[in-house]
A and B are shown apart, each in its own frame.
Chain A
């Protein structure tokens, strides 16, 4: 692989142990993928910072890099941790606080921006063609598909290494020739935003090459966020070209197959029936946008406080401060607020007989982690159901 003089110095250890280790990881992964050179990035987003998911060896890895003098060379944001940073939640278990604190200290020492969210594009939306090194599968696919940013699904340690060096390997989706939509998916009018999570899960499981999706003109950006996150969970997609959304010149089309998807095909992906006495409604996977928070508030005013179960809403850590009035209003209406975390990367204090969520990604992971019944429903249907209407 060709390295510039500066990159060689980094690899040799002239910039310290942590930078050398980070460069070694990037070069090795790049060489394995056949990259000839590295590419300069403008934003790294580091996933895998929750103690609940990475455990003590992940903690040691991150702390070693911080102790070794690692510092962010580009704007760097971080994924959710395993504790509720707002202190409002009674559902999220904060018992791993001491371990999470050690990770958070190391991240701050490396000068990463502690946003603790899976929607880093809220803080810095990428521009088309910009090179990024993002972890977090839902953020990667959103950056590529909606903003036209160029990033691979970097694993947590590679995104971290890219943050410390300012570079990543030039391969995969950093090259426009590899961003080619091959399977046209027509979404039939019989589907609605209720099915959007299921549609994502269906795409992830059934389509292996880069899809080109048509028929999403009437879906909101929050729906598209849900669809993309779900497809990246059940499959390994990092880019779904969406007609009218994905910026021109950031992808190519060479369609070899065409598929139509209707609501009937998605029934098997909607989860099981919800039985039992302890029901949790969950919205915020990926984290809620301010627009979604306003929408939930409006729905609660319409259908009343959650009476038939609890309602958990998760969001970026800073939202608890920035949108304090709105958050307190939601709390007053009986909503459990958790900021800077989510049930996928943390643990519940107690168990639930059933979870109703709008997110296909949440269904995919929560079913496996908590081994409980999960059902997909639209945001309005969740609030209506819990309100007892």
Chain B
């Protein structure tokens, strides 16, 4: 294990899998393609079936529909961990039934993910987030 920290469950649910880190604010509208489950900007990372970690949402209030479309297209992440959760993101996760957690030490988690030499695997147990490095 390379990191252990606390999370606040916003929409509790099963959360474990390979990590996709987008260390920025995302506008789901115009920056995420709901057909592919990939970002259009700022990078082209894909997060289908992964644990998506990002700072928070910005931009259009269409976001919940895009998150809902991700679920219906089977391109949604398994769960989402953010530094800040605003109403729009919560509404999207409620509709799409995607577990959502706010990370207390977001910077620490991001540093650990970056330091992991191989891909990182993340698991949420209750109010704890555990990060492992894949062997």
Q: How far is the CB of A363 from chain B (nearest CB, A)?
A: 12
Partner of A155, one of B11, B25, B27, B92: B92
Q: Chain A 217-260, CB within 8 Å of chain B: the 1/0 string?
A: 00000000000000011111000000000000000000000000
Q: Enumerate chain A residues within 8 angstroms of B10, measured Cβ to Cβ.
A: 32
Chain A positions 6-64 with a Cβ under 8 Å from a chain B Cβ: 25, 28-29, 32-33, 47-48, 50, 53-55, 57-58, 61
Are B94's CB and A25's CB within 8 A?
Answer: yes
Interface residue tally of chain A, by bracket?
35 or more
Q: Between A and B, how many residue pairs show CB distances below 8 Å?
A: 115
Interface membership of A336, Cβ < 8 A: no
Which one of A134-142, A272-280, A313-321, A325-333 is at the interface?
A134-142
Q: Enumerate chain A residues within 8 angstroms of B84, measured Cβ to Cβ.
A: 236
Are A29's CB and B34's CB within 8 A?
Answer: no
Are A157's CB and B90's CB within 8 A?
Answer: no
Cα distance A172–B85 when bound, in Å?
12
Interface membership of B40, Cβ < 8 A: yes
Cα distance A28–B64 when bound, in Å?
14
Partner of B68, one of A33, A50, A57, A171: A57
Chain B positions 53-75 with a Cβ under 8 Å from a chain A Cβ: 56-66, 68-69, 72-73
Which one of A70-78, A189-197, A292-300, A364-372 is at the interface?
A364-372
Chain A residue with Cβ nearest B30: A368
A-B contact pairs, 6 of them (CB 8 A): A32-B10, A33-B90, A50-B62, A137-B61, A140-B61, A158-B88
When A and B form their complex, which 10 residue pairs have the shortest distance between CB atoms, in order from nearest?
A155-B64, A155-B91, A155-B88, A58-B65, A54-B65, A135-B61, A368-B30, A57-B72, A48-B62, A236-B58
What is the interface of chain B, defined by CB distance below 8 A to chain A?
10-11, 25, 27, 29-31, 34, 40-41, 56-66, 68-69, 72-73, 84-88, 90-92, 94-95, 100
